A and B are shown apart, each in its own frame.
Chain A
Amino acid sequence: MSNSPQLARPTAAETAAVAAPAPSSGAPGDGPRTPVRGHPHRDRAGRAFSTAATVAGSTILVTLAAVAVFLVLRAWPALSASPEELTEGIQWFPEGTTLLGFVGPMLFGTVLASVIALAVAVPVSTGIALFISHYAPRRMANALGYLIDLLAAIPSVVYGLWGVAWLAPRLQPAWAWLSETLGFIPLFEGPAANPPRVILTVGIVLAVMILPIITAVAREVFLQTPRLHEEAALALGATRWEMIRMAVLPFGQSGLISASMLGLGRALGETMAVLMILSPGLTYSLALLQAGQHQTIAANIANQFPEANPLGVSTLIATGLALFVITLAVNMAARWVVARRKDFSGAN
């Protein structure tokens, strides 16, 4: 890509575009001019255009910074209030806790739901990605990938409806069986709630919702495996599965990790499905099959926000700020792994 030097410097171009007077009478052929720079009038338009492009690019950075700044500004009343003020001012604020004590259980619930989702989704989407990249016929691969992408197009509120109406009743017997046979493990401690508006159900629905993104990234990475590695493995007598284990999976490992982290970022921020399915409670309980134990930050915000008073809104925004920081960290780590991988991958 050719970059003319006078256009590559946004700030210089910007000041030049503003400061330079427009020489409208400069007829072509009046004086010596370089063929590259062209008509001065046109050059001004070029600068304006490149400035506009640069400004648009910077908007991304400004927006992200603005999200952080405005959230902090609006959360400040809650961040600076004493626990007594919070308890008095907000109807639903638990008594005798600080803001941190309020966020803590929700943070726990958020992470717990996301970890369940990840534990279910990562093996399944690895399988799907392998199926599309190495098992399905080449001509069908695109269509199959599109089918999985359709899952990403479904709005989360519809997932919520489906989770309550279709999935939950079908999971109830399985959860009851789990609590009866494996109830001695704290995770599956009974009695299993009926209807199963529990965090394990939420985790399953979240897993379905993050399947497409993990699959999409994993598929891309698996397809990038150097053809020679695969053929070398097969030539040594490896079966297809051994070839995948020796050539494809090691090559795609870091891609798979970052794909999982992208999925984790999605699961952490998911609101509606959790709000519609989970029966909320603010504890640090590990019992996945009991109702009224967990709540996630996002679902709590959506639940309380419409009827909250100003201090309540500030408190909710403070919890939103915590969610923002966590998802930002997870996403940046994931993108960092992806970016680093590009430099060292053997594909190019």
Chain B
Amino acid sequence: MATLEQSAEPRSDRPTTRELLTRGDTRRKATDRVMAVVVTLAFVVALIPLLSLSWTVLSNGIGRLSPYFLSVSMRGVFGGMDAGGIYHAILGTVLVTGVAALISVPIGIMTAIYLVEYGTGPLARAVTFFVDVMTGIPSIVAGLFAYSLFSLFLGPGVRFGVVGSVALSVLMIPVVVRSCEEMLRLVPNELREAAYALGVPKWLAILKVVVRTAIAGIVTGVMLAVARVIGETAPLLVTVGVIDSINTNVFEGRMMTLPVYVFRQYAQGLVPCADGATDCIATINIDRAWAAALTLILIVMLLNLAARMISKFFAPRTGH
């Protein structure tokens, strides 16, 4: 358009056609540059919380994190005592999450197999839709559900490990289904057809060919799902409760879990120390919260890293 206007009223400093064709509109170019900066800034802005959070947790938590902190519980620890640890919380987290995985993994994998290998018609469509919807259930609602379920049969005030595991499974199953489904769909159809051609029945072909081919991806998906629920706090707060000592029985009694421990220590706040007290640390609860948060993040990151490693090194060769 610029060409037409300018050729209509000739001027002495008229640019040549070649210049017009190669030179961009400066305003448009400027907008382009500004937007490139804005878009890059958006990415940089998102890195601020990631970096500051990592640094804050690391610098605040590293001080108290020690073998002693990892190996003792909070039993008999009170006031500003320079003592206490997270052994009971780690144990509780491992047990509660482990039971949740035991519940969710079989259901999740079988649902994925159903969706990929068997599912047709309205049921499969409904399951696909509601798996997605289920990923959006608020974690606290999952906790309330597990509590309602058990308290209806066992009376009010139930709090033990398995209740928390059920709550976590509600959150975990859809994640497992999603990732397993994706992995099963990646298995080339030729493999299935080759198995059928050899006379292998369908169920055996699924178990021995399809699932075995996708196993690395499935393990990765399960580990990511575990990493996802291991940091859940709210559902465990309402279903498993808090306790200061070690409890290894998931069917009876309250258990401490790592995320709840972080919250609990934070909520207890500063300790009023008497003047001149030598063995009293005012900020001991907050310090413990940071150290436990660091442990929690390390566990989650290790799980993530291990999952990526598995999917990278044990992935089947695709041949193209």
Contact = CB atoms under 8 A, between A and B. Distances in A.
A269 B140 contact: yes
B29 interface: yes
Contact of B289 (A58, A147, A161, A211): A161
Interface string B159-193: 00000000000100110010000000000010011
Given A67-B145, A70-B148, A302-B234, A50 B262 contact: no
Residue in B41, B138, B263 with the greatest tally of chain A CB atoms within 10 Å: B138
Residue in B57, B123, B136, B293 with the greatest tally of chain A CB atoms within 10 Å: B136
A56 B46 contact: no
A159 B263 CA distance: 11
B144 A317 contact: yes
A53 B114 contact: yes
B227 A57 contact: no
B194 interface: no
A74 B192 contact: no
B134 A63 contact: yes
A60 B119 CA distance: 14
Contact of B132 (A131, A166, A335): A335
Interface string A23-59: 0000000000001001000110110011011111111
Given A151-B46, A335-B133, A7 B40 contact: no
B247 interface: no
Contact of A128 (B46, B57, B127): B46
Nearest to B125: A339
A51 B258 CA distance: 38
A67 B28 CA distance: 54
A277 B142 CA distance: 22
A310 interface: yes
A306 B113 CA distance: 40
Contact of A57 (B110, B237, B241): B110
Contact of B130 (A61, A130, A157, A239): A61
B117 interface: yes
B124 A239 contact: no
Contacts of A64: 130, 133-134
A56 B234 contact: no
A56 B107 contact: yes
B152 interface: yes
Interface in A134-190: 135-136, 144, 147-148, 150-151, 153-162, 164-167
A305 B42 contact: no
Nearest to B138: A269
A54 B114 contact: yes
A147 B245 CA distance: 37
A225 to B, nearest CB: 15
Interface stretch (A96-104, A278-286, A320-328): A320-328
Contacts of A228: none
B10 interface: no
A114 to B, nearest CB: 11
Interface string B215-227: 0000000000001
- Dominant SS among interface residues on chain A: helix
B319 interface: no
A331 interface: yes
Interface stretch (B30-38, B79-87, B273-281): B30-38
Given A56-B107, A239-B28, A265-B136, A46 B189 contact: no
Given A64-B130, A269-B137, A155 B232 contact: yes
A308 B53 CA distance: 34
Residue in B144, B230, B232, B238 with the greatest tally of chain A CB atoms within 10 Å: B144
Nearest to A267: B138
Contacts of B145: 66-67, 70-71
Contacts of A50: 118, 202-203
A8 B120 contact: yes
Contact of B53 (A63, A124, A162, A313): A162
B4 interface: no
A1 interface: yes
A261 B136 CA distance: 10
A155 B174 contact: no
Contact of B123 (A10, A70, A151, A313): A10
Contact of A332 (B24, B133, B290): B133
A182 B113 CA distance: 57
Contact of A56 (B56, B111, B297): B111
A52 B282 CA distance: 57
A132 B39 CA distance: 9
Contacts of A55: 110
Nearest to B234: A271
A3 B52 CA distance: 52
A131 B42 contact: yes
A271 B263 CA distance: 12
Given A3-B120, A46-B203, A155-B293, 11 more contacts: A7-B202, A10-B123, A50-B118, A54-B114, A55-B110, A125-B42, A127-B39, A135-B40, A155-B300, A302-B238, A317-B148
10 contacts: A50-B203, A56-B106, A125-B42, A144-B43, A154-B231, A155-B293, A208-B46, A240-B32, A240-B36, A298-B140
Q: Lowest 9 A-B CB distances belong to which pairs?
A: A269-B138, A155-B231, A127-B42, A56-B110, A331-B136, A49-B203, A53-B114, A271-B234, A239-B32
Interface of A: 1-4, 7-8, 10, 35, 38, 42-43, 45-46, 49-50, 52-61, 63-64, 66-67, 70-71, 73-74, 123-128, 130-132, 135-136, 144, 147-148, 150-151, 153-162, 164-167, 208, 211, 215, 239-242, 244, 262, 265-266, 268-272, 275-276, 298, 301-302, 305-306, 310, 313, 316-317, 320, 323-324, 327-328, 330-332, 334-335, 338-339
Interface of B: 24, 28-29, 31-32, 35-36, 38-43, 45-47, 49-50, 52-53, 56-57, 60, 106-111, 113-121, 123-124, 126-127, 129-142, 144-145, 147-149, 151-152, 156, 170, 173-174, 177, 189, 192-193, 196, 199, 201-204, 206-207, 227-228, 230-234, 237-238, 241-242, 259, 262-263, 266-267, 289-290, 293, 296-297, 300-301, 304
